[in-house]
Amino acid sequence: MALLAALAASFVGGVAAWDPSLYTSSPAVLPSPNTTGIGWEEAFAKAKDFLAELTLEEKTALVTGTTGPCAGNIIGIERLNFTGLCLQDGPLAIRQATYASVFPAGVNAGASFDRELLYKRGLYIGEEFKGKGSEIMLGPVAGPLGRTPWGGRNWEGFGADPYLSGIANAETVRGIQDAGVQATTKHYIGNEQETQRNPSTADDGTTIESVSTNIDDRTMHELYVFPFADAVRAGSASIMCSYNRLNGSYGCQNSKMLNGVLKEELGFQGYVMSDWGAVHSGVATIESGLDMNMPGGIGFTNSTPSFWGANATAAVTNGTIPESRIDDMVLRIMTPYFHLGQDKSFPLVDKSSADINGVAKSNFGYDFELGPIVDVRTEEHTQFIREAAANSTVLVKNTGSLPLKKPKNIAVFGNDAGDFVAGLYSLTAGFSADTVEQGTLASGGGSGTGRFSYLVTPLEAIKAKAKEDGALVQFILDNEVITTDGIDTIIPTEDTMDTIVPPADVCLVFIKSWATEGYDRATLEPQHNGTGVVNTVAAACNNTIVIHNGAGPVILPFASHPNVTAILLSHFPGQESGNSLVDVLYGAVNPSGHLPYTIPKSEDVASPRIVNSTALVETTDPNAWQDPFTEGLFIDYRYYALQNNSAVAYPFGFGLSYTSFALADLAVSALVSNASALPDASAPIVPGGNKDLWTPLYTATASVTNTGDVAGAAVPQLYVNLAAAGAPAGTPAWQLRGFDRVDLAPGETKTVEFELLRRDLSFWDVEAQQWRLPSGTIDVQVGFQYGKAEVTGSLA
């Protein structure tokens, strides 16, 4: 406690003073708490009955993965009519499956700021998993949160704000589980960079451990655990622990985070699943709170060697681990299974999964029974994908060129406009930026990608639309040709032979930024000289519209070019990419996406960087990779605010529309008088934590009006100032704590309501080890982007 007090006192200025010795070790929290089945009582009883039938060997097999038709597999037990569990990636599609849909990525869904869209996306993806016989979806993603803009997997999650990510994860979990599929919220926790996420071997043979993400207690709670708490509250069946070390110990054997924070503090009733190969010990991981080892390996002789399986059986028989711990693991795994009714006529694993993954026999004489190949795509899903990607497109510049007014001569430029030349399932881990040079990016790579059964490219959709209008579509897709041959060859000047003849009314330039699991982004600038392509075209075409596909944030150095009349950020839009874009370009959909992160003016001013260096790559010190999160709570907009936002090109929450909106009449009502500073200590711990943390303390309402002449959706955002209300130093001034998305006809006004929960108005008190309301009055502002209040008030 004295240590924590000293720590609290050491905050100076904005960011906390950093004492590395405090964060390179993690206290042991033992034993692992038992589930009591809160909220899942009926299923818990069924799980207990099931457990009672199992032999020890079956129990350890149930908690240890095995080979089989899916990305992860738990064996069936024929005698008990249990057909096993099929775990499949990932967060935007049932990744490897054939005849399945590829949805917009997490970052698109986050950019929508739309709860209904988030829920439906989860529901529809869940339906496809169920149709293919997969009980467990390996998604959604609450970590990485997006601490560093270079993070290779940020796009799988929903945005660099814990509140936005929390709501998005909760809605997605509800959607997935309402479809009857278990959600796995991942990666817990601190997996904010891909570089050295796994151990490596030095030239001299030394094992170099994974990067250690070192986070102080307050930052851990207020940024990184925060969205996981929402997911747990929403009933996430599983939480996947991450590859990295965390304050010195591996994510999947960090008992403080698994037993202490997740199971005790957040009251998590489901099971902790390891990331693939993230288990580096047997007994220690089991004691630390890991409940399922993936991909596992159930026998000593299984082709995938495992710390668990038969080793876990031995650990029980020789008395190292009590059988009751294994029992709890089984109960945690089986309760959500019964709760979601997965014991009742769940579809068989689609045969195509086996063809793709290869089936192996389990040790228990049980073969996964495979079903026919089914097409899980539906008209409803397809329509949703098209609309969701269009709605979540972020328009950051528009001088009036959009929406297009049936141009008769369109020129398309850039390597992101056409077909992906390496095929429809090429967007996998290991594909470097170079190999994905030619073709549109509709998903990122790695386990979070999807196998496209088709992909409507921007060029294809533009051609189809132009045909309706009798318009000409000319194009040059090779960035090299555009930038080397230069303007004269592209667009006519007086005495040249030109490629684009006659000159176009509108020049659509497609640029991109690849991102994939396994790598962090090498640059925040558009790749393949995207900036050069835009500048070349804009030099000759005074109506240049830029469309960017891929990871954000992306630097837009050409944003102030007078000939760049509009900029659209489509991120990774999924299979309907071109159609969604055409809907936005021509105004069938009025874009309402808002940035779920900040875009800085240049790469130089962005922070924090990925930990990496030649010295680290060549190190022989097993413990060399350390990533101290010295910035504390100051990531993304909180960081830029420390320099008065001078480095910001486009702020968090920003997004234009084809109409305009106004906000007025902010009114606040207190729902609880004289709320105590700390939550009611006698309130039960429910999934999500102390129940009282989720008590609404205030509601704030405001009226939002469409002041333009076309229909559109506004995204009002509420920010609170806990710092000025007396939260300790180290508290960012304004933090997002409410948002809504409202459809409005021209001239229409609607009232939006923000419910402010105790947790959302509190800071994590490191001494009390509890969420505490600041003692003063909390100011609030509501606007359409970070840092620009339209209406202000206070919670009084």
Annotated catalytic sites, by residue? Answer: 275
Which residue, 447 or 721, is less far from ligand NOJ as judged by CB?
Answer: 447
CA distance 156 to 146: 10
Asked if 89 is part of the footprint of ligand NOJ (rule: CB under 6 A), the reply reads yes
Q: Omega before 33 cis (within 30°)?
A: no
Query: Least distance (Å) from ligand NOJ to the CB of residue 90?
Result: 6
Alpha helices per DSSP H over 23-83: 41-52, 56-62
In the block, which residue shows the tokens 């398309």? 412
CA distance 145 to 432: 23
Report the relative pairing of strands 685-686 and 245-246 from DSSP bridges: unpaired
Query: Least distance (Å) from ligand NOJ to the CB of residue 295?
Result: 8
Asked if 71 is part of the footprint of ligand NOJ (rule: CB under 6 A), the reply reads yes
Which residue, 274 or 543, is less far from ligand NOJ as judged by CB?
Answer: 274
Contact 178, 126 (CB under 8 A): yes
Which residue, 364 or 572, is less far from ligand NOJ as judged by CB?
Answer: 572
**Nearest CA-CA partner of 311 in 5, 658, 57, 36:** 57
Tokens, residue 231: 């997911």
CA distance 298 to 302: 6
Asked if 594 is part of the footprint of ligand NOJ (rule: CB under 6 A), the reply reads no
Tokens, residue 628: 């101290």
Asked if 105 is part of the footprint of ligand NOJ (rule: CB under 6 A), the reply reads no
CA distance 747 to 753: 20
Query: Least distance (Å) from ligand NOJ to the CB of residue 276?
Result: 4
- List, as one string, the DSSP characters of 80-110: GTB--EEEE--SSS-TT-SS---PPPHHHHH
Which residue, 50 or 431, is less far from ligand NOJ as judged by CB?
Answer: 431
Asked if 176 is part of the footprint of ligand NOJ (rule: CB under 6 A), the reply reads no
Site for ligand NOJ in 181-240 (CB under 6 A): 186
Report the relative pairing of strands 717-721 and 778-783 from DSSP bridges: antiparallel
Asked if 410 is part of the footprint of ligand NOJ (rule: CB under 6 A), the reply reads no
Contact 412, 62 (CB under 8 A): no
Asked if 276 is part of the footprint of ligand NOJ (rule: CB under 6 A), the reply reads yes
Query: Least distance (Å) from ligand NOJ to the CB of residue 324?
Result: 29
Which residue, 322 or 358, is less far from ligand NOJ as judged by CB?
Answer: 358
**Partners of 71 in the β-ladder:** none
Residue 207's Cα: distance from chain center in Å? 30
**Partners of 713 in the β-ladder:** 743
Total number of residues that touch ligand NOJ (CB under 6 A): 8
Helices (H) and strands (E) in the chain, counts: 21, 35
**Nearest CA-CA partner of 294 in 58, 59, 63:** 63
Length in residues, the chain: 796
Site for ligand NOJ in 132-171 (CB under 6 A): 138
Q: Omega before 144 cis (within 30°)?
A: yes
Which residue, 89 or 692, is less far from ligand NOJ as judged by CB?
Answer: 89
**Partners of 511 in the β-ladder:** 548
**Nearest CA-CA partner of 591 in 565, 576, 569, 563:** 569
Q: Is 66 exposed, middle or buried (0-12, 13-18, 19+ CB in 10 A)?
A: buried
Query: Least distance (Å) from ligand NOJ to the CB of residue 560?
Result: 39
Which residue, 89 or 627, is less far from ligand NOJ as judged by CB?
Answer: 89
Helix (H) or strand (E) holding 29: none
Asked if 548 is part of the footprint of ligand NOJ (rule: CB under 6 A), the reply reads no
Query: Least distance (Å) from ligand NOJ to the CB of residue 210?
Result: 12
Which positions from 412 to 451 touch ligand NOJ by CB under 6 A, shown as an x/- string? -----------------------------------x----
Query: Least distance (Å) from ligand NOJ to the CB of residue 28?
Result: 26
Amino acid 538 reads A
Which residue, 183 or 321, is less far from ligand NOJ as judged by CB?
Answer: 183
CA distance 722 to 774: 7
* DSSP 8-state code for residue 530: H
Which residue, 275 or 576, is less far from ligand NOJ as judged by CB?
Answer: 275
Query: Least distance (Å) from ligand NOJ to the CB of residue 138?
Result: 4
Which residue, 244 or 575, is less far from ligand NOJ as judged by CB?
Answer: 244
Asked if 275 is part of the footprint of ligand NOJ (rule: CB under 6 A), the reply reads yes
CA distance 336 to 358: 27
Which residue, 31 or 518, is less far from ligand NOJ as judged by CB?
Answer: 518
Alpha helices per DSSP H over 189-322: 217-219, 226-233, 255, 283-288, 310-317
In sequence order, the 6+-apart residues with CB closer than 8 A to the CB of 613 are none
C-alpha Rg value of the chain to the nearest Å = 26
Query: In the complex, which residues of this chain contact ligand NOJ (CB under 6 A)?
Result: 71, 89-90, 138, 186, 275-276, 447
